[in-house]
Homo-oligomer: A and B are copies of this chain.
């Protein structure tokens, strides 16, 4: 386990004693699809380290409509933001693909942050990058239409350097993906069909293929303020 925690990007810069404490205190747990890790406004004692699977962070309105904050792949942490202030989780977390998660006390993280500038600098830098990504998401919502948003998402799944023909696997349900992109499942389905005819991508279930990225890039990125290899983040979300 040590390695998997020590190599989490957002914890880079942590001291040895920090990781030792973390390993001593953390509990590893397996979660099946659909399991809730915590719920909005739970008292936050722990933060979570995702080493495999996918986790959805979301909020919901009174009528049950969910709005998705993020869908995290392995290698990310979540539930760490209540270190400051009241200490309530600002969102709920649900496993959407069977996951391995380490549960670790926030107090250890907080203590380390207060004494280890390297870690807090690293965390600042991650938050800033994250914010930039979020700026883009907001931009996309107003500037791109549904097919373009899907195309943009696909592009962020691709290794930028990829040459020639490309194969992508959608990481989770189309229904969830639709929600993640802020549209209805029906709209997603139609928009994907449109993307197919516009850019020549081939879709088969959760597999998407194309001969080159060019058409997808010129179709999707046209309406955006960033240029293609825009995915300067650790990874997709």
Contacts and interface: CB of A to CB of B under 8 A. Distances in A.
A143 B85 CA distance: 27
Contacts of A91: 135
Interface in A121-163: 121, 123-125, 127-132, 134-135, 137-139, 141-143
Given A62-B222, A120-B121, A142 B139 contact: no
A67 B138 contact: yes
Interface residues of A, number: 43
Given A120-B117, A121-B114, A138 B134 contact: yes
A67 B225 contact: yes
A contact face: mostly helix, strand, loop, or mixed: helix
A207 interface: no
A78 to B, nearest CB: 12
Number of copies of this chain that the complex holds: 2
A60 interface: yes
Contacts of A125: 84-85
B142 A67 contact: yes
Contacts of A69: 135, 138
Nearest to A232: B85
Contacts of A226: 59
A223 interface: yes
A172 B193 CA distance: 42
5 contacts: A84-B124, A113-B117, A114-B121, A120-B124, A137-B138
